């Protein structure tokens, strides 16, 4: 089974809670992965930053490759980097199941999104808070995943930007039913419900999981809040 198919099969109607590994304890990475697996999460979100496209530096394919040796969980890689086309093969080889690029870094992303799919990986396109939905509309058919940033990318622990809700609602009307609609930034038990009501089904959570005393309890609370909110719109 290709990574793309494996990733797309995650969408089963229930909320997908994706812990953002940016907030984990990298000094004890093996233990963190074990705790997340025990918490029942179904995928991990990998924030890749280059200190150029965003004002922060995180990790790259070598760390992801080592992480892949620790778990079979699907990897959702979010490339907040300039010129992602130069490094795409490295992230495919490292074991990513989905790779998301930014339209702000690649204004004409169709060719790169198709290249991601051709590598057997799910293709994702992200937009920053200041980017209108119309800027990515022509490229939606090439996307397995669309990511709405609800904070300015670059740092964890930021406050949720409410305008993301309108973007999610717009995109929900534009994407195919099979497209994963993701939101990243400031996701907690207070904000995840409105995001679910607006159409999101994948929720990237950093502080709300890694700063909780019990990862399983935190993930369950997030999932239940999203499920309750989504069902209330039916």
Show which residues are catalytic.
47, 184
Question: Can you point out the beta strands (E) in 50-111?
Answer: 75-80, 98-102
134, 155, 221, 225 from 190: Cα distances, Å? 28, 20, 11, 8
Strand order in the sheet with 16-19: 16-19, 202-205, 180-184, 145-149, 122-127, 98-102, 75-80, 44-49
Q: How many CB atoms lie within 10 A of CB 162?
A: 11
Measured distance CA(35)–CA(116) in Å, rounded: 30
CB 80 within 8 Å of CB 48 = yes
| 16-28 exposure pattern, b = at least 16 Cβ within 10 A, e = fewer | bbbbbbbbbeeee
State how far the alpha carbon of 225 is from the alpha carbons of 177, 190, 203, 213, 229, in Å. Answer: 22, 8, 11, 18, 6
Dihedral sign from CA coordinates of 95, 100, 105, 108: positive
């Amino acid at each position: 089974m290709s990574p793309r198919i494996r990733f797309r099969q995650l969408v089963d109607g229930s909320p997908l809670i994706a812990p953002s590994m940016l907030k984990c304890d990298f000094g004890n990475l093996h233990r963190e992965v074990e705790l997340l697996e025990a918490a029942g999460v179904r995928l991990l979100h990998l924030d890749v930053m280059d200190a150029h496209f965003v004002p922060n530096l995180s990790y790259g394919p070598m760390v992801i490759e080592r992480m892949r040796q620790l778990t079979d969980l699907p990897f959702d890689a979010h490339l907040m980097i300039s010129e992602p086309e130069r490094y795409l093969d490295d992230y495919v080889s490292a074991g990513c199941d989905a790779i998301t690029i930014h339209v702000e870094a690649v204004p004409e992303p169709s060719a790169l999104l198709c290249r991601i799919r051709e590598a057997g990986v799910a293709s994702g396109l992200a937009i920053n808070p200041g980017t209108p939905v119309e800027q990515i509309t022509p490229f939606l058919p090439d996307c397995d995943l669309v990511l709405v940033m609800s904070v300015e990318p670059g740092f964890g622990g930021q406050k949720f930007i409410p305008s993301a809700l309108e973007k999610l609602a717009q995109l929900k009307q534009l994407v195919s039913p099979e497209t994963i609609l993701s939101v990243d930034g400031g996701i907690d038990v207070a904000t995840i419900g409105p995001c679910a009501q607006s159409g999101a089904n994948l929720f990237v959570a950093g502080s709300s999981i890694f700063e909780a005393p019990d990862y399983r309890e935190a993930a369950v609370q997030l999932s239940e809040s999203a499920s309750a909110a989504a069902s209330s719109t039916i």
